[in-house]
A and B are shown apart, each in its own frame.
Chain A
Amino acid sequence: MATYLEFIQQNEERDGVRFSWNVWPSSRLEATRMVVPLACLLTPLKERLDLPPVQYEPVLCSRPTCKAVLNPLCQVDYRAKLWACNFCFQRNQFPPAYAGISEVNQPAELMPQFSTIEYIVQRGSPTPLIFLYVVDTCLEEEDLQALKESLQMSLSLLPPDALVGLITFGRMVQVHELSCEGISKSYVFRGTKDLTAKQIQQLNSRVRGYAGSYEARPLQTQEQPLISSRFLQPVHKIDMNLTDLLGELQRDPWPVTQGKRPLRSTGVALSIAVGLLEGTFPNTGARVMLFTGGPPTQGPGMVVGDELKTPIRSWHDIEKDNARFMKKATKHYEVLANRTAANGHCIDIYACALDQTGLLEMKCCANLTGGHMVMGDSFNTSLFKQTFQRVFSKDFNGQFRMAFGATLEVKTSRELKISGAIGPCVSLNAKGPCVSESELGIGGTCQWKICSLDPSSTLAIYFEVVNQHNAPIPQGGRGAVQFVSQYQHSSTQRRIRVTTIARNWADAQSQLQHIEAAFDQEAAAVLMARLGVYRAESEEGPDVLRWLDRQLIRLCQKFGQYNKDDPNSFRLSDSFSLYPQFMFHLRRSPFLQVFNNSPDESSYYRHHFARQDLTQSLIMIQPILYSYSFSGPPEPVLLDSSSILADRILLMDTFFQIVIYLGETIAQWQKAGYQDMPEYENFRHLLQAPLDDAQEILQTRFPMPRYINTEHGSSQARFLLSKVNPSQTHNNLYAWGQESGSPILTDDVSLQVFMDHLKKLAVSSAS
């Protein structure tokens, strides 16, 4: 065997699963002493080029409470054509179609390499994808123009049979009818009054009345789609119409007097969008795409008044309980988000403005429904344009990288129970024998709904070992977990992906080193971070930090090697060595630190943190820093102020930003124009190298990171300086007396100091 590292990697490649512990402590008590909970990061739709879906239904365990899917871990009696469920031990007959089964003729789902398998099933008639644009018209002319172009462009990216709809809003909300010739029609609603679902239904019925000809048809069932088709039309039919309509979109005409914000009815617009889909296309894949250029300023969901002199709430206001509208607005959007989720639709938020736009209040719309959240300065930036374009990116099969209306069900073997999940999902409240009483994240259920997901969407799932200490598991026993995700593929097929994994149990008392060695510190860091961020949403920032610190100290106490009260003797094994560092950066990250971030930014960062896969999450926690110099190929360097050298070019990737930083000397050279001189071609290459690398990252990342090209001494350099470990500050600059690096003006503690403290506390017998 290779190392655990390889094992972990291999598992991730195959199943999209990373566990914090790859050997499981066999009793509840032991498990709790491990500090880091038994949990995993699951990427349900991880792209697998080598996984052709099978075109039949999965075989299910016949026990009603189990219904686990037949998998390679099941024991099969080929003669009797029986199989034993590895979760509930129920013995099941194979269905008739499996009559020809034998040891040499196995269905795919029994082969070990198919621990993850995807079924294509026939359920109902396929419904086309739905894209409902909800567009803010209170934008600057240029912004609106750019947005209109982006939207028009997007029409060409949609599959021809996809349904599109358009709602625009400003002071009023307009629902546009798309199938009209000669005149463009829209239904207009006041932006200050929420509509109940019933009223939206009435809207539909009104449409019917007015489209008299439809009314004549007695077929109730036929009617629904016909009606909605007034607002949601196949792209290929109304392509031109909609393009024109978008082209004619005007800025909100209502005058905005000096000192006022435009009145923006985001809350109602969203509500109508949700209601519209709810009434007509429940439980089919649909995206509500909200494009907004400012905070909602009226009606339900308003975040700030229209007086410019009262600024939008800051963290400071929130702490002082001074944010007048926040609670109500949040409530409004939560209700909406839950309704949307219940219908299996998702809401994307594209917010482009220099100021905040109310993402804090609206975040749940994206968070609960798996929608995207994009924050930019303007719609007229490549950040938005490319990000938006990337929403419609396609995989190698030419299918959208998006899936809808997924249900994730988790089944566990008896020794395990499910505590909860953290990610872009909502609970389906499916109680079952494997649901734990103690909740972590969204708990109390073994099923979650993920209204929209893409190949990188990742959930953290937390388990609880329930096996009692006095009922040891036999040697070599394995615990198993099965993840069943049913979803609507972007090709409108229904698919089921089943991943079944198993891990060994180990007695933590006798085999601690095994468990220790199987610790996945990266996964653990991310899982702990998710827990922390999750808590931060509802708790005070300092409490969360204290909790994180305590956890870290406990972990060090548990797994460190040290002599009591002797910090210098403290050592951590390799498999734990990076963990404290992750925690150090996590503590400083915008996910837990609100200082210097607006509430919107915090929400934005947290949103992405809660859904990206492990690699990206780690980058978010601890940005990557590359150094380019004449002395060799680019190399990763410590995220430390000591890495900032005059003759280097640094490339930092924080996930949200790509920063290219030219050292002092390099910057001078560049200013002197050496790169343009033929004899200094190498310098030109050096300058170009990080740009190329950055481009590569930009190409693949979603959302598109903010791209910052800066140099020593420039104000934009703050993005870099705020991330690096301040090993050199104005406080210790002379003490260290090193020649390298550049000092950071901060009072933040450096990693060194942090570690010193940690050691001291870990070894202290007092705690």
Chain B
Amino acid sequence: MSVNQQAHTGLPYGQPQPGYQGYQQSGYGGQQMPAVHHSQYGAYNGPMPGYQQPAPPPGYFPSLGFPSKGSPVCLNSDTPILAPNFIGALRAPPPSGAPPPTSGAPVPAGQPVYSQFGQGDVQNGIGASAVQMQRPSASQPFIPGTAPTPVSQPATFQQYGPPPTSAQQLTNHMAGMQIGTSSSAPPPAGLGYGSSTSVPSASGSFTATGSGHYTPYSSSQGPPPVNVSHGLPPTSLSPNLSLGQPAFSGPPMSAQHPPQASGFVSPPCSTGIGPSSYPSTTGAPRPSTMQGSPLPGHALTGLPTSQPNHVSSPPPHPAMSGPPPGPPVLGLQGPPPPTHPSPSGYQMQQNGSFGQVRGPQPNYGGSYPGTPNYGSQPAPPPPPKRLDPDSIPSPQLSELPPQQKPRHRIDPDAIPSPIQVIEDDRNNRGSEPFITGVRGQVPPLVTTNFLVKDQGNASPRYIRCTSYNIPCTSDMAKQSQVPLAAVIKPLATLPTDETPPYLVDHGEPGPIRCNRCKAYMCPFMQFIEGGRRFQCCFCSCVTEVPPHYFQHLDHTGRRVDFYDRPELSLGSYEFLATASYCKNNKFPNPPAFIFMIDVSYNAVKSGLVRLICEELKSLLDYLPREGSIEESAIRVGFVTYNKVLHFYNVKSSLAQPQMMVVSDVADMFVPLLDGFLVNVNESRTVIVSLLDQIPEMFADTRETETVFAPVIQAGMEALKAAECAGKLFIFHTSLPIAEAPGKLKNRDDRKLINTDKEKTLFQPQTSFYSNLAKDCVAQGCCVDLFLFPNQYLDVATLGVVPYQTGGSIYKYAYFQLETDQERFLNDLRRDVQKEVGFDAVMRVRTSTGIRATDFFGAFYMSNTTDVELAGLDCDKTITVEFKHDDKLSEDSGALLQCALLYTSCAGQRRLRIHNLSLNCCTQLADLYRNCETDTLINYLAKFAYRGVLNNPVKTVRDTLINQCAQILACYRKNCASPSSAGQLILPECMKLLPVYLNCVLKSDVLQPGADVTTDDRAYIRQLVSSMDVAETNVFFYPRLLPLSKVDIDSDTLPAAIRNSEERLSKGDLYLLENGLNIFVWVGVNVQQSLIQNLFGVSSFSSISSTLSTLPVLENSFSKRVRSIIDMFQSQRSRYMKLIIVKQEDKLEMLFKHFLVEDKSMSGGASYVDFLCHMHKEIRQLLS
């Protein structure tokens, strides 16, 4: 343990600090804190949107943090507990216990848990959690801490909620906060917190910390109130672990806080507490706590060892071991009973309970509440303390009674924080290149910037796996329930400092392949018999080496030309395909782009048509080119349409363009051949003249009806006639109701939501489009669809063809020129310019023993093995699931080879090969040690999103929860060191699984809010299906940055904060991005100077929320913020819509939707609640 710890400390601490601080801060007043976060993940800290028992978090974190610190020692002691991170906070019992707790006020759900635990001691519970928290850094776990916390939060919210006017709000908040605190025991909490510093001491510390926190905040800013909100947390503090409250007292919090306080304002607290990683500063204090906690927190059992990454984990372990046993139980028991009253209900109930505590906040989600929380926030800090829980127990006990109510909650800072994890990884792995030579290496997280050196395995930019260590047998795989999947992005764009795949030309005979399985030559092929033959690494078949390819072997059995041949030394490379790889054995023509513009009334009136035409004039100079070739080989064509189609002849020899109208939409055909697809430079004048005239020609149109299927047919026929592949860019505005094939009717029916028929909303209303898509794929016709709907237009149906042809859909609802033009144009530019392959076929070959069985993404499959893509661009990702069909061996590992045959933008036929070697294991622990949660989430999201096509959404959600519970339960059962059942123990690599999974469950597709349209859901569903890991990561857990923490003079970004309202401060500005939108959230109390600098207006009230871009102002703050936004924009495949959200403005509802750790309006659980729920599920499985 100690070792681990050290390790952790080493890395984590140092770097983590920021993170921690971030956390703390966020936790606190959220005020400044938010800004702190940098790291994308807010690991544990993350606000717990969660489920019922949100509360827990805080507690957990702290515990975690503690562990790390103190853990060492504890660990040692605990050592026994290998369990990497688990938060065992709650002991199994929670459920049962539940009932009583309620009373416990704070934690409803949690209470139950508590109750169980409680019986023991709140502290115990807490302790556990705390411990775990620490581990988090390592792996871990949350503690079921359970809902309580969340509840508390809600409560707070409610209070806040009230806050109508800003000013008042403040006061209210303040009041609320105070009140809250007071009501729910906040006071104690608060105090406790203050004591937090003292954390170490445990209970005593609580108060201490609590106060401490507060003070810091206050000191830092007036905001203290904010802290107050945290206060809630406090309640929750303990919550972390159900018992947490007790834990609460948990010194951890205090401990952390203190440090942080010192260091930063609030940050320290939470952060410190949380993960082991705390900064040294925190560390110091914590240690004590940690120790304390560790002991208590069984969770600590730090398996740290196992989990290298998370240093922190180790500490926890100890803690875990130690504390859990004893204290937790106590804690739980203790608190629960009291608290509760809490209805048995876990998390959910918790909410309720929370509510009770603070007051009922109907919406939890209410990030709003959050605000209030701020005030109360201080409380949260306490949670950390819980970490200490272990130690706490005793202290808590003393305090518990009083505080119980509030503390039932889990401290959000104590549960695994995505921010923290991200930050840790960035610090640990961002500095050195990732060298792919070693089999089964887990790459850095997608959020980490790192350089890849290809030494025989494909870069993680091309392939990421859910696990880099595959169970040898299917039994193991089934037991673990960890899906084996690879997320493949064959044409991914590499950073400029990495070399793109080399192109290998083997001339006439073509690439060397295995005779039997047809795998392509790769570094893993074994040359034998002096190099005359090679043995296939996939199927073991021996194949003759063709004479022209023969080369002698050196003494190691390697070919002498090993380094000269990319296919022998690299993981990714390309072959030049021969004619036999082409359709009809004929080399393809260069592809074509066809722009198909809706010119119905809506499109013309909104100025869209003119905009597109203007843009195309310049955009056509930027068609994708290959390498250094001067001129793009891509030809272009133009079509406009409403109820009929208009084709244009823009042949260079014409004096003026010719328009050809086809009104026979029932039986589409292309009216011209020559002159439709032209070279841009040759026909420039004609094209320009055409683009000038299109808006004029239709300026007076009255036609409102449109067709759609015939448009695609036309494009496809045009490509067919030109005998080339290509891409259609369709700009469409309305439901195609004109009489034509593929005509649709409005079938939107919100009443279907949550019924068995909900799935029909995702299914196309006619099979026509599927058939059309099939034809398109056969022709290599990829469709990109830009939608500009003013009402329902059935994305589910219209999207079928783009989806199955590997195209993209872009949607601009209620398109308005002024606000959306920038976004649309940027998307269009990017879409036109991006690298793309056509008429592609992808096949994934694997070692004997596993087999690719399922595929997710935008493509079409006519058989079970070949993924056919009419087009594949650099952003499209295919997720492939593998299943065992035999045994694997640890010696030889498992190999994947993804071969993509495609036509480049210059019309060259190529094969891109990616190879990846994975380890195989006979021990489940190895599996869990080499998982990647982000990839797992990517897979699970895609799996779920496909599931909604055929199953009720609820079933899909349950399946997901169930699967995750099984994964975690399997770990707990087989890999974690023995510990109290009440502890939630999470594998280090999967400690974020609950929070991320919760985000998936709460997403619009699986749990739509009232304002989410059917089209939006269908759109998101398809969008997610081809996202890569980085995109799903930020999509489900948005990045939230405090803008006022921005360092104007450096390029580094402020630390991210967790997505919870309670992390937000009224006096601050925040930036939130999820890959689709960027929000700039402006607190009501933001300094005027900042407002002036950023918006160029003098006061908060004069900020226009309709801005779609930030004004260009000549001051360093404005420049910096804009450059950050620009940077984000450049990182995403789509231009994000910028939305300015003023606190308490109506748009804030929208914003809060993205605070994913909070309970959502649509019923999505907060993080804490969900964690508790998860814990319960796990325990059920274990029992």
A and B form one complex = yes
Chain A residues within CB distance 8 Å of chain B: 172, 174, 180, 182-190, 193, 195, 199, 202-203, 206, 209-213, 215, 244, 248, 250, 253-255
8 Å CB interface, B679-702 against A: 689-690, 693, 696-698, 700-702
B657 and A212 within 8 A (CB) = no
* A contact residues around B1009 at 8 Å (CB): none
Instruction: Assess the B647–A188 pair: CB atoms within 8 A.
Output: yes
Distance (Å) between the CB of A21 and the closest chain B CB?
Answer: 57
**Could you list 28 A-B pairs, sorted by A, with CB under 8 Å?**
A172-B671, A172-B672, A174-B660, A180-B659, A183-B658, A183-B659, A183-B689, A184-B659, A185-B658, A185-B661, A186-B659, A187-B662, A188-B660, A188-B671, A189-B662, A190-B664, A190-B667, A199-B664, A206-B643, A206-B661, A209-B643, A210-B644, A210-B703, A213-B700, A248-B654, A248-B655, A250-B674, A254-B673
Q: Which residues of B contact A183 (CB under 8 A)?
A: 656-659, 689-690, 693, 697
A175 → B minimal CB distance (Å): 8
Report the minimum CB–CB distance from B477 to chain A (whole Å): 55
Contact B659 A182 (CB under 8 A): no
Minimum C-beta distance from A197 to chain B (A): 14
Q: Flag whether B663 is at the interface (Cβ < 8 A).
A: yes
Kindly count the residue-residue contacts between A and B in the assembled complex, taking CB atoms under 8 Å apart. Answer: 86
Interface residue SS majority, chain A: mixed
Contact count band on B:
20 to 34
Q: In residues 626-678 of chain B, which contact A (Cβ within 8 Å)? A: 642-644, 646-647, 654-664, 667, 669, 671-675
The answer to whether B701 and A210 have CB atoms under 8 Å apart is: yes
Query: What's the minimum C-beta distance from B711 to chain A, rounded to whole angstroms?
Result: 15
Residue in A closest to B702 when the chains form the complex, CB atoms? A212
A182 in contact with B663 (CB, 8 Å): no
Whole-angstrom distance between the alpha carbons of A187 and B700 in the complex? Answer: 19
Residues of B within 8 A of A184 (CB): 656-659
Which residues on A sit within 8 Å (CB–CB) of B655?
244, 248
Extra 4 A-B pairs, beta carbons < 8 Å, given A174-B660, A189-B662: A186-B658, A188-B662, A195-B664, A253-B673
Q: Which of B259-286 contact A (CB under 8 A)?
A: none
Distance between Cα atoms of A250 and B674 in the complex (Å): 10
A211-B700 Cα distance, complex, nearest whole Å: 7
Q: Which residues of A contact B647 (CB under 8 A)?
A: 188
Q: In the assembly, what is the distance between CA of A211 and CA of B699, in Å?
A: 10
Cα-based distance from A254 to B721 in the complex (angstroms): 9
Contact A209–B661 (Cβ < 8 Å) = no
B contact face: mostly helix, strand, loop, or mixed: loop
In the bound assembly, the distance between CA atoms of A195 and B697 in angstroms comes to 27
Instruction: Given A193-B664, A248-B655, answer yes or no on A182-B689 (Cβ-Cβ < 8 Å).
Output: yes
Residues of A near B663 (CB, < 8 A) are 187, 189, 199, 202-203, 206
**CB neighbours of A174 from chain B (8 A):** 660, 671
Q: Chain A's nearest CB lies how many Å from the CB of B1055?
A: 57
From known contacts A183-B693, A183-B697, A253-B675, infer whether A209 and B659 are also in contact, taking CB-CB under 8 Å: no
Distance of B438 from chain A, by nearest CB (Å)? 56
| Chain B residues closer than 8 Å to A244, beta-carbon distance | 655
Q: How far is the CA of A202 from the CA of B644 in the complex (A)?
A: 11
Residues of chain A with a CB closer than 8 A to B675's CB: 253
Report how far A210 CA is from B663 CA in the complex, Å.
12
The smallest beta-carbon distance between B122 and chain A, in angstroms, is 75
- Which of the listed residues A190, A210, A244 has the most CB atoms from chain B within 10 Å of its own CB? A210
Residues of A within 8 A of B672 (CB): 172, 188, 253
Contact pick for B667, options A182, A193, A254, CB 8 Å: A193
Q: Which chain B residues lie closer than 8 Å to A253 at the CB level?
A: 672-675
In the complex, chain A residues whose CB is within 8 Å of the CB of B700: 211-213
- Among residues of A, the one whose C-beta sits closest to the C-beta of B645 is A188
Of B671, B689, B697, B698, most buried by chain A (CB within 10 Å of CB) is: B671
Give 3 closest A-B pairs by Cβ, nearest first: A188-B671, A253-B674, A212-B700
* B656 in complex: contacting residue of A172, A182, A254, CB < 8 Å: A182
Would you call B661 and A188 a contact (CB within 8 A)?
yes
Q: Mark B232-244, 1 if CB is under 8 A from A, else 0.
A: 0000000000000
Name which residue of chain B comes closest to A213, CB basis: B700
Name B690's closest neighbour in chain A (CB-CB): A183
Contacts of B657 in A (CB 8 A): 183-184
Known A-B contacts A212-B701, A215-B702; A186 and B661 likewise in contact (beta carbons under 8 Å): yes
Q: Nearest A residue to B705 by beta-carbon distance?
A: A209
Q: Name the interface residues of B556-615: CB closer than 8 Å to any CB of A.
A: none
Q: How far is the CB of B1077 from chain A (nearest CB, A)?
A: 37
Contact with A along B719-745 (1 / 0, CB 8 A): 001000000000000000000000000
Smallest beta-carbon distance B589→chain A, Å: 13
* In contact, B643 and A185 (Cβ under 8 angstroms): no
Cα distance, A195 to B662, chains bound together (Å): 13
Residue on A nearest B721 in the bound complex, by CB: A254
A11 vs chain B, min Cβ distance (A): 55
Question: From residue A634, how far is it (CB to closest CB) to chain B in Å?
Answer: 54
**Chain B contacts for A190, CB-based, 8 A:** 664, 667, 669
Contact of B703 among A172, A199, A209 (CB under 8 A): A209
B634 CB, nearest partner CB in chain A, Å: 20
Residues in A with CB closer than 8 Å to B674 are: 250, 253
Task: Please name all residues of chain B whose beta carbon is closer than 8 Å to the beta carbon of A202 when the two chains form the complex.
Answer: 663
Q: Who on chain B is nearest to A180 by CB?
A: B659
- Are B669 and A172 touching (Cβ within 8 A)? yes
Q: Which residue of B lies closest to A211 (CB)?
A: B700
Determine the distance from Cα of A172 to Cα of B721 in the docked complex, in whole angstroms: 14
Would you give the shortest CB distance from B705 to chain A, in whole angstroms? 9
Contact, CB under 8 Å: B661 / A187? yes
Q: Which residues of A contact B664 (CB under 8 A)?
A: 189-190, 193, 195, 199
Closest chain B CB from A6 CB (angstroms): 63
Chain B nearest Cβ from A488, distance in angstroms: 32
Chain A residue at smallest Cβ distance from B651 = A250
B710 to chain A, nearest CB (A): 12
The chain B residue with its CB closest to the CB of A216 is B702
Q: Is the CB of B643 within 8 A of A187?
A: no
Residues in A with CB closer than 8 Å to B698 are 210
Q: Which residues of A contact B703 (CB under 8 A)?
A: 209-210, 212
Q: How far is the CA of A248 from the CA of B652 in the complex (A)?
A: 12
Residues of B within 8 A of A199 (CB): 663-664
**Which residues of B have CB within 8 Å of A187?**
660-663
Closest to A174 in B: B660
- Across the interface, which residues of A come within 8 angstroms of B702, CB to CB? 209, 212, 215
Are A182 and B671 in contact (CB-based, < 8 A)?
A: no
Determine which residue in B646, B664, B673 has the highest number of CB atoms from chain A within 10 A of its CB, and name it. Answer: B664
* Chain A residues near B671 (CB-CB < 8 A): 172, 174, 188
Q: How far is the CA of A213 from the CA of B671 in the complex (A)?
A: 27
Chain A minimum-CB-distance residue to B675: A253
Report chain B residues within 8 Å CB of A212.
Answer: 700-703
Contacts of A248 in B (CB 8 A): 654-655, 658
Chain B residues whose CB sits within 8 angstroms of the CB of A193 once the complex forms: 664, 667
Q: Please give me the residue from chain B that is nearest to A245 by CB atom.
A: B658
A345 vs B323: C-alpha distance in the bound complex, in angstroms?
103
Whole-angstrom CA separation of A199 from B664 in the bound complex? 9
Residues of B within 8 A of A206 (CB): 643-644, 661, 663
Question: Whole-angstrom distance from the CB of B605 to the nearest CB of chain A?
Answer: 12
Q: Measured between alpha carbons, how far is A650 from B303 in the docked complex, in Å?
A: 120
Complex Cα spacing A180 to B689, Å: 14
CB-CB nearest in chain A for B701: A212
Give the shortest distance, in Å, between A736 (CB) and chain B (any CB). Answer: 65
Nearest neighbor of A212 in chain B, beta-carbon distance: B700
Decide: B669 and A185 in contact? CB cutoff 8 A: no
- Across-interface contacts of B654 in A (CB, < 8 A): 248
Q: How far is the CB of A611 from chain B (nearest CB, A)?
A: 37
Q: A247: nearest residue on chain B (CB-CB)?
A: B655
The answer for the CA separation of A203 and B662 in the assembled complex, in Å, is 10
- CA–CA, A255 and B722, complex, Å: 11
How many angstroms between the C-alpha atoms of A62 and B673 in the bound complex?
Answer: 64
Q: Which residues of A contact B658 (CB under 8 A)?
A: 183-186, 248
Query: In this complex, what residue of B is CB-closest to A195?
Result: B664
| A residues less than 8 Å from B667 (CB atoms) | 190, 193
In the complex, the answer to whether A186 meets B660 with C-beta atoms within 8 Å is yes
